[in-house]
Amino acid sequence: MRVRLRLADSAPLIWRTLDIDPSTPLDVMHLVLQRLFDWQNVHLHQWRTLDPCSRAHDGVDLAWLPANLLDEMDGLPDTDETIGDALALADGTLHYEYDFGDSWHVAIERLDDESDDIKRSNDARPMPAVDGARRGPLDDVGGIHAWNEAVAIPQRSRMPVDPAQFDPATATASVRRLLDVTTELPALRPLLTRVNSEVGQKWLERAAAAAEHPPIATDAAIEASIAPVRWMLRRIGPEGTALTAAGWLPPALVREAMRELGWEHRDVGKMNREDLTPDISDLRARMRWLGLLRVAKGRIALTAVARRLVGDPGGLWRHVAENLVSRQTSDVSRDLMLLLALHLVTGRTLDERQLAAQLALDLTALGWRDPGRGVPGDQLEGTVSTDSVRYMLYEVLPALHDLGAFAEGRKRWEWSGELTSTGRALGWQMLGRMLPA
């Protein structure tokens, strides 16, 4: 569908036209508007069916808000509504407000009817086809009247940008990249809405480069990746296995696992006691956490999900990849896993400290602060330290290592930062996109 965007009270008028899929969620449309009007995504926003600046309020006033505002303001989540449905509820004109201080108001008006969507879906013309005039106001200039005055008397305001500058081709390319990435990798959506436009653009460029050459995992690669999990499920068996009196796996099973999985180079000694063999105890704990194993009455057994998936390597692999994110017990660990997945899909090799440093910058951009495990300077400056991220990575990297995301080190205690094709595929799946056949 085609929509017209007008910045209220702007003189001269700042406007855009845009062809957009009506199924685009409002949280993604927010990012689209940020790019179209050159804003930095550093303030609050909302969507309304009625014009908040108008005294006439005929009709139902609905509001859609980002998740961080739902506890403070009345409204519905913007992730659950599409631009097409919201426009229908607003009788064809929807209202977007950005920065509740400066109060930038954009009216979004639908220019065509719903029957045109079917015709346009078969049109070869590339989406989103942006047009418009004049750049959007700078953040924090004091509102539309202050901006109009600055534009009218540029020598007094010492305008740092050209207010008449707007390049439809650049805007089209930017919006197309945003829409492509948020469609290909939907789990990035909540991250992109929480960072400023500069950081978001960098993440989009990384993701877009990966999306140009999406990873392809062969059946053999997936079977090799999920082999440790699948072997353990088959070895425990449909009837389950009795644990020792102390609650550990039987010594024979532990020894067999180390041998069959090719992990003997990782440890020393007999490797037949679970409490002294971290690779097996970690694997067991991880599989319980992923909802694949359960313990009851002195026996360890497969869950219903595990029984269903044990004969389906691809389905089991997808379950593990997706649940590595969804079962994280804290918001910061979930963000870390998504950022780590973004790193995986890019295929860039980093050693442990480089990886931790990059993730520390990304977590800081999302608003996280050092929990106290880093150096005092990091805490005072309000950042996440590299040491804190390294501590968090110790909890998550072994799972990815066992799934074949990284090349094996030459010795059991070595961690290799070299990514594999399986690692890229895992990241793709963790970000919510099915692998191409």
Look at residue 239 in the predicted model and tell me its pLDDT. 94
> What are phi and psi for residue 406, nearest 5 degrees?
-125, 150
> What secondary structure letter does DSSP report for 213?
S
Chain centroid, CA 8 distance in Å: 32
Strands 131-133, 293-296: parallel, antiparallel or unpaired by DSSP? Answer: unpaired
Rounded to whole angstroms, the Cα distance separating 7 from 102 reads 13
Token output for 252: 């024979």
Q: What secondary structure does DSSP assign to 130-188, as a single string?
A: -EEESPPPPTTSSSHHHHHHHHHSHHHHT-SS-TT---HHHHHHHHHHHHHHHHH-GGG
Look at residue 181 in the predicted model and tell me its pLDDT. 92
CA distances from 151 to 104, 162, 224, 329 (A): 16, 9, 62, 50
Rounded to whole angstroms, the Cα distance separating 151 from 140 reads 15
Judge residue 337's burial from the number of C-beta atoms within 10 Å of its C-beta, 0-12 exposed, 13-18 middle, 19 or more buried. Answer: buried
Rounded to whole angstroms, the Cα distance separating 341 from 431 reads 7
Look at residue 413 in the predicted model and tell me its pLDDT. 47
For residue 263, give the 3-state DSSP assignment.
coil
Torsion of CA 244, 247, 249, 250, to 10 degrees: -10
Tell me if 17 sits within 8 A of 111, measured CB to CB.
yes
- The residue ranges of the chain whose pLDDT is under 70 are 55-57, 114-127, 371-381, 409-417, 434-437
Look at residue 235 in the predicted model and tell me its pLDDT. 97
Rounded to whole angstroms, the Cα distance separating 7 from 144 reads 9
State pLDDT tens for residues 111-161: 987 655 545 555 544 567 899 999 999 999 999 999 999 999 877 778 889
Chain centroid, CA 152 distance in Å: 41
Find, among 150, 138, 132, the residue nearest to 98 by Cα: 138
Rounded to whole angstroms, the Cα distance separating 431 from 335 reads 11
